[in-house]
Structure 1
């Protein structure tokens, strides 16, 4: 099936596509609320040891006796009580030696209850606190693979259903968990559901949207995710108990079960599975809603089965580029080892893996560290989340103008310098630290948006799925470490920002060794990738598939905007037509009507043809 032809007839971003895109945005909003909830759910509030003979049920965190009963600044020890004293609380009742404590008093002025206060995740057990965030990221790693494969095998809607159940049910169970280890297990499942929901929602929406709008939607669909993160900060202002907050940010995921009826199945996926009748029914519904007509011959079963669907996304490595593999290629097992065997792609792949690792580490690390900044933690957190939105808009406008390489290097360096400088700001300039931290989040958010696109263009078509999939795994590894790096603020407050800054600077410098891909025909094979971007090397011209029954061939020279279209027996006297620079866009496929032996190439603007005899034969439209 020539689905690009059907897509052109339906409209690239009509009312029905906007409906699907809107539902997909909700699929981004809810996981955004959950992914950062641990910042408040597991917030480390101020605490001190319970002092024997002094503390009782009526005492609070701030008491006068803490001046002589607890070493200054120590949250894990008390001065030793004299053995012969049993019921008095006076300064001379304590020895000048310390003892560890097993009970704590918490400052409940900011939060009534968190996982730290309820499960005593302090002192010797403090290492368990960031483990919740790390297990969530581990769940994202596993969920991206398992649920992605489920969606590829059994359909996009089933992938959304499984993700919604894991996220919603897992979140509810964690909210009522009587034990911290049960909560950790549920964090794993909610992470898997959250990642699966984002990936499948993204893939499903992009498979409905025409090529002209894919980059725009692929970048801006991340805005609801940022809004979901900020919404968690708003909810935390009013909900200061971790159980109710956890319930509030995850329970809405259960409502996404309704997508089984509200969200249509991917037409591309249905055709690949041979379910043509269902695919045609959805196409007809889209045409009706968009108030357009689809040429009847494009819906013929014979036409559907004569050619493989080109452009079906692989959910396990979703990105803004389509994974474009023929059935013959799919039979050969592709692994990341194949990419690493070739010298040029080995360096580029490792470079891209590191970029994804840094993006995830710094992105989630800055999100977690936002509550450690001076000032109102809720305002800092919400601002840190909302700053992503202008970064996405910035990315959309510069990524094609400056190029992938320059844009990515710039935002990495911008974020890195901002984070490092913030670590050396003198005390008393807390507002400047917050501003620089926001600038760092702006840079890394833009970098994350760019690497999604850039990585899909770096890897050749035959290895794009496995390449981007490995990048995603590296990102999850960075996310797993992010919570632990952010917790280093307890030791030295600027330390996390310094680590994030150095890693961003290194990645920004390494980016300059990657090839530019804007305006270039992307490599199809590893051999082309080795030559792609190399000095003096030019990949062989790419030959597009022939149109069945219509004798025409189209060639494009990779790395240029020049196309050569040659054919015979189509228009008398036009055996060769050359289309030169000036074309803004040429569709990837032909609409053919072989009965009248006409092939139509869709372009955005008219252009002069070489050979005057061909101008008036209706060959182009």
Structure 2
């Protein structure tokens, strides 16, 4: 069987390249970021700490009954209601003695109890360690969702999984608001995290597949800016709802998911996925609709598609002819022509090839490192001290310039060098902040200088994440692209779960978190050199397309002889 052309860029160019259709699809898909960002970060406000002290009994004598010591009386004792205990100090024969009681009579909160789930359900004192589970379990859910949902996306298409995940996230968001207890809250957050990744990863793939190769850096720039912009909207919503209960705030954050209505009407399936999976009827309908939106000639688009599938593009140029409508219709309904490749498409087949399997291992480690570093910096910084609204805005604003850096660097110096530069920046910030904190302390000038270095760390970590989200899909072929991105994201969640423990490590070894993060960043920087450079290359449709990158060409690495022999046999 002759090899079928797998290029899709000429077809996207025929639709306008960066035409109205592509822009519509991109921006309609990007509105997901409101749902994903709000559910991921609203825990800062929904579960904020409200100062409290132990509650007072209706009858003071009850305290002395609980002490059960006749030497402690109302006349010789002073009672102090501390944060997590009742302290009774008595003057007994000139000596001071103290008795400690737990908060037997509930708690008094500095603000209305229902403003936070932590105060509302009294997750304080002995139960305070449970608070972190609300965010940790969501990250665990993200890892599970990233590992499994992309399989269905590659099998059944980007659109159905994206919409289904979005609907479930909205439903679970409402469910969280009506949680009867903290256990239900945690379970719902876990499941919500799974489907939050369903919309995040399918959107990342849709964004990279809807534009031709030359516009990928624009995709990365707009994706990072849209994500940061949605983050900036969260403090505004939280501020407007600051006087309402945490349940109302949760419903307010979930209400942004109503944008899914627009996606139901305007979001289309990925053209690359349809071509890779041989869907002629859907392709014909999509091309017709896309040509109308982009205001281009529909017949010309069909001619380009037909020439790509039959390998007649150059012949038509020489003859000055074009494909007839009858020929085009035949090509569009011929399931054999639509078959991109007869090889099995799975991540297992991809990693069986030694060189390609190494790419996967490197990507998994880099994703793990970036997530651990970013969340580690977040949880060990003082970014959320003071005003909880202003400081979150400042933290996000610090990371936004990295999106601009990505836009100007990825095409000029390539994906690999951009990743290397951003990881080095992160390492520089981590080393600087750690050294200054150790030598100058974390007060006065030392605090200011270490904060500046920490900002470099945030800048690099956020930029590295942004680059990976469009660099990773470029390395995998279409039918396992979302699986490749999903498994990489799953490994990043492992890092995200470890990141918060950096605060615990710093209590024992102050320089420990900086040392661990720096070593991982330096290791990732070295390992990036093993990845292929995808700058200027069309997205691979098949595993054979990726293998071809390593064939002997101008001194490039030679593909394994056995693999090449098998590939040649398949081609024949």
Question: Which has a greater percent of helix?
Answer: 2
**Higher relative contact order, chain-length normalized (CA < 8 Å, sep 6+):** 2
Q: Point out the more displaced range, 413-422 or 471-480.
A: 413-422
Equivalence for 1:481: 498
Provide the rounded CA distance (Å) in 2 between the counterparts of 1:205 and 1:369.
Answer: 33
Equivalence for 1:598: none
Taking a change above 3 Å as real, the CA distance of residues 412 and 332 of structure 1, as seen in their structure-2 partners, is closer
Taking a change above 3 Å as real, the CA distance of residues 163 and 493 of structure 1, as seen in their structure-2 partners, is farther
Which residue among 82, 87, 90 is the counterpart of 1:79? 87
Provide the rounded CA distance (Å) in 1 between the counterparts of 2:59 and 2:383.
Answer: 31
Q: Deviations over 1:557-598 (max 9, x none)?
A: xxxxxxxxxxxxxxxxxxxxxxxxxxxxxxxxxxxxxxxxxx
Deviation at 1:477, TM superposition (A): 1.5
Taking a change above 3 Å as real, the CA distance of residues 372 and 362 of structure 1, as seen in their structure-2 partners, is same
Taking a change above 3 Å as real, the CA distance of residues 459 and 177 of structure 1, as seen in their structure-2 partners, is closer
Equivalence for 1:303: 331
Provide the rounded CA distance (Å) in 1 between the counterparts of 2:289 and 2:480.
Answer: 35
Does the CA-based 8 Å contact 1:457-1:517 persist in structure 2?
no
SS of 1:376's equivalent? coil
Deviation at 1:129, TM superposition (A): 0.9
Provide the rounded CA distance (Å) in 2 between the counterparts of 1:396 and 1:189.
Answer: 34
Taking a change above 3 Å as real, the CA distance of residues 4 and 405 of structure 1, as seen in their structure-2 partners, is closer
Deviation at 1:377, TM superposition (A): 2.9
Provide the rounded CA distance (Å) in 2 between the counterparts of 1:16 and 1:460.
Answer: 24
Equivalence for 1:138: 140
Provide the rounded CA distance (Å) in 1 between the counterparts of 2:550 and 2:520.
Answer: 24
Q: Deviations over 1:226-282 (max 9, x none)?
A: 222221122222322322221111222144044222222333444555542332222
Q: Deviations over 1:395-437 (max 9, x none)?
A: 2212343444443233223224434544514323555555443
Q: Point out the more displaced range, 385-394 or 423-432.
A: 423-432
Which residue among 94, 105, 108 is the counterpart of 2:108? 105
Equivalence for 1:41: 46
Equivalence for 1:355: 366
Equivalence for 1:244: 248
1:564-579 equivalences under 5 Å are none
> Is the counterpart of residue 439 in structure 1 residue 444 in structure 2?
no
Provide the rounded CA distance (Å) in 1 between the counterparts of 2:425 and 2:171.
Answer: 40
Provide the rounded CA distance (Å) in 2 between the counterparts of 1:405 and 1:125.
Answer: 46
Equivalence for 1:278: 282
Does the CA-based 8 Å contact 1:410-1:508 persist in structure 2?
no
Q: Deviations over 1:293-345 (max 9, x none)?
A: 242433624333476669xxxxxxxxxxxxxxx54222677268746xx4x77
Provide the rounded CA distance (Å) in 1 between the counterparts of 2:271 and 2:203.
Answer: 14
Provide the rounded CA distance (Å) in 1 between the counterparts of 2:60 and 2:42.
Answer: 32
Deviation at 1:202, TM superposition (A): 2.9
Q: Deviations over 1:541-561 (max 9, x none)?
A: 999x99xxxxxx9xxxxxxxx
Provide the rounded CA distance (Å) in 2 between the counterparts of 1:75 and 1:148.
Answer: 46
1:463-612 equivalences under 5 Å are 467-485=484-502, 488=504, 492=507, 499=513, 502-513=516-527, 514-515=529-530, 517-518=532-533, 537-539=557-559
1:393-432 equivalences under 5 Å are 393-419=404-430, 421-422=432-433, 424=437, 425-429=441-445, 432=449
Provide the rounded CA distance (Å) in 2 between the counterparts of 1:29 and 1:309.
Answer: 37
1:126-165 equivalences under 5 Å are 126-165=128-167
Deviation at 1:285, TM superposition (A): 2.1
> Is the counterpart of residue 24 in structure 1 residue 29 in structure 2?
yes
Q: How many residues align?
A: 505
* TM-score (normalised: structure 1): 0.69
Provide the rounded CA distance (Å) in 2 between the counterparts of 1:407 and 1:128.
Answer: 39
Deviation at 1:479, TM superposition (A): 2.3
SS of 1:96's equivalent? strand
Equivalence for 1:229: 231
Equivalence for 1:328: 342
Deviation at 1:169, TM superposition (A): 1.0
Taking a change above 3 Å as real, the CA distance of residues 374 and 129 of structure 1, as seen in their structure-2 partners, is closer
Q: Point out the more displaced range, 475-484 or 329-338.
A: 329-338
Does the CA-based 8 Å contact 1:12-1:211 persist in structure 2?
no
Provide the rounded CA distance (Å) in 1 between the counterparts of 2:48 and 2:484.
Answer: 37
Does the CA-based 8 Å contact 1:371-1:378 persist in structure 2?
no
SS of 1:221's equivalent? helix
Which residue among 369, 380, 383 is the counterpart of 2:391? 380
Equivalence for 1:170: 172
> Is the counterpart of residue 198 in structure 1 residue 200 in structure 2?
yes
Deviation at 1:536, TM superposition (A): 8.3
Provide the rounded CA distance (Å) in 2 between the counterparts of 1:54 and 1:385.
Answer: 50
SS of 1:250's equivalent? helix
Does the CA-based 8 Å contact 1:460-1:529 persist in structure 2?
no
Does the CA-based 8 Å contact 2:89-2:98 persist in structure 1?
no
Provide the rounded CA distance (Å) in 1 between the counterparts of 2:494 and 2:183.
Answer: 21
SS of 1:44's equivalent? coil
Taking a change above 3 Å as real, the CA distance of residues 195 and 459 of structure 1, as seen in their structure-2 partners, is closer
Provide the rounded CA distance (Å) in 2 between the counterparts of 1:184 and 1:515.
Answer: 40
What are the ranges of 5 or more consecutive residues in structure 1 without an aligned counterpart?
A: 57-66, 311-325, 547-552, 554-621
Does the CA-based 8 Å contact 2:331-2:337 persist in structure 1?
no
Which residue among 118, 121, 126 is the counterpart of 1:119? 121
Provide the rounded CA distance (Å) in 2 between the counterparts of 1:32 and 1:6.
Answer: 33
Equivalence for 1:593: none
SS of 1:236's equivalent? helix
Provide the rounded CA distance (Å) in 2 between the counterparts of 1:515 and 1:446.
Answer: 20
SS of 2:400's equivalent? helix
Does the CA-based 8 Å contact 2:350-2:356 persist in structure 1?
no
Does the CA-based 8 Å contact 1:371-1:380 persist in structure 2?
no
SS of 2:530's equivalent? coil
Does the CA-based 8 Å contact 2:422-2:461 persist in structure 1?
yes
Superposition CA RMSD, Å: 4.3
Taking a change above 3 Å as real, the CA distance of residues 356 and 348 of structure 1, as seen in their structure-2 partners, is same
Equivalence for 1:266: 270
Provide the rounded CA distance (Å) in 2 between the counterparts of 1:427 and 1:503.
Answer: 23
Taking a change above 3 Å as real, the CA distance of residues 459 and 169 of structure 1, as seen in their structure-2 partners, is closer
